[in-house]
Structures are given as C-alpha cells and as structure tokens.
Amino acid sequence: AGSLPGSARPGTKRLPQAIVVGVKKGGTRAVLEFIRVHPDVRALGTEPHFFDRNYDRGLEWYRSLMPRTLDSQITVEKTPSYFVTKEAPRRIFSMSRDTKLIVVVRNPVTRAISDYTQTLSKKPDIPTFEGLSFRNRSLGLVDTSWNAIRIGMYAVHLESWLQYFPLSQIHFVSGEKLITDPAGEMGKVQDFLGIKRVITDKHFYFNKTKGFPCLKKSESSGLPRCLGKSKGRTHVQIDPEVIEQLRDFYRPYNIRFYETVGQDFRWE
C-alpha cells in the first residue's frame, strides 16, 4: 500500500476480516466503539453500506475506505442494514468465505419502538407506532412490510446467512447484556475474534443519565467517551396492549431464533 504524502501511518488497507452486520437499533455502534479500544483492532468509523447500496463501486473502492492496519491487527466495519439485505450474505461470502460476522440483537419489540423513536425525531409527522405496526389491529394482523417490524424477525433473516456461513462464523451479542454487563459481552466478542481479552470491567462506567455504559477513555483521546446524543433517547410511550400483541407475534420467531443459534435471549 503506497503511503500518500503526509500520511505517515504505517500499515496496509485491507478488506475487513470481521463485519458487524446487524441489527439496526440493537447496539451496533456501542460494539464498534467498545471493540476499537482494543490495540489489535482497527475499525471504520462510518457505515460504508458497501454490500447493500454501493456494491457496484467494487472491492477496491471498499478497501480504500478502510483504516490502515499492521499484520497483527484486524480490520472491522459495521453496517447494520446488511443483516436484512438479501444479497449481503452472498456478496460477503464472495469477498471472503472466512469473514467473521457479528450480529447484535435485542428484544424485537423494544427494537421496533427504538427504531420508530429515531424516525419520529427526523420526521415528526409520520403515523403512530400502532398505526404502522398493524394492518388490522382488532384482528391482530401485524404489518410485516414495515421495516421496523420486519427487522425483528431475526430467524427469517438468519436463514439467508446460513446458506453461506456456518453458525461458528456468526457471533450473536445480546443488546440487553451489552448494557448490563458490557465487559462480559465484549469478552465473548474478543474470544470470537481470536484476540486477547484486553477490554474488561476497568474500561467501563455506567452513565445514569443515558442509562447505559460508557468508555472511561476512548481510542482517540484519553477522555471518557459516551455514544452520541441520538443514543439513549427516551422511547415513545406505547399502549401496553399493543406491546402484548407484538410480543405474541414475535414469540414463534424468537423461539425459532433461540433454537437455531442455541442461545436463549430471554425476551419472553
């Protein structure tokens, strides 16, 4: 890799060996920010959306976005929409069948509400959460064409990935445990990536205002680092009956997901 004038950083731009492929509003930004504290990891800070929106730009364009790494370091990128993109598994497999995949999941009902809350902050005139969730609420017909609902059907999306990658190459992070036990969840991520457990309890403190853990110091500076203001938003209040109906809807998908991955996320 030829160094550009003025860029004294050693190393080479490599295609990522690990990708955080999902899911939106699951905790992917936290996983990326936490893992990049590790000296053996270099991560792309922005979402390149290569395998869903920019695939026609080619692998060399994709590689050019990556941070420089030494031979001992792993390159990581994250784009949460990959998990629900039909073509993404095949495209990533054709780049490298050895790619390690990280999926951050959380209770699909909470995830949908978080997704809606984010959209509402940008488009205040959208219909109600309830209106978007159901085709017919009195009949309990959930609208699976709405993205916020569809994303949480994890078992369905996972099938596309398992056509190309064995389960051993996919690591599932609990979005809930990422909040209650960040060091424990990140310990498993480090094991999965085959790197030393460097990120431990001493890296985190709990921010009561935001309601989730923050880093005591970030990769780029010695200062504490919390996720941006868009993270930890107060969710919109939703009718408990609506939540109950959605729980019922997701239950069979959740059970199938637990059985497939061999892990109970206790969303019931």
Going from N- to C-terminal start, the domains of the chain cover 13-123+147-235
Give dist(CA 152, CA 234) in Å, integer: 20
Question: What is the per-residue pLDDT for 180?
Answer: 95
262 belongs to an annotated ligand binding site: no
Q: Is 122 a catalytic residue?
A: no
Q: Which pTM value belongs to this model? A: 0.92
Give me the catalytic one of 25, 100, 210, 229: 25
234 belongs to an annotated ligand binding site: yes
Residue 91's contacts (CB-CB under 8 Å, 6 or more residues apart) are 51, 55
Q: pLDDT tens, 168-211?
A: 999 999 999 999 999 999 999 999 999 999 999 999 998 888 78
Q: What are phi and psi of 110, to 5 degrees?
A: -60, -40
For the segment(s) 13-123+147-235, the CATH number from 2.40.110.10, 3.40.50.261, 3.30.300.30, 3.40.50.300 is: 3.40.50.300
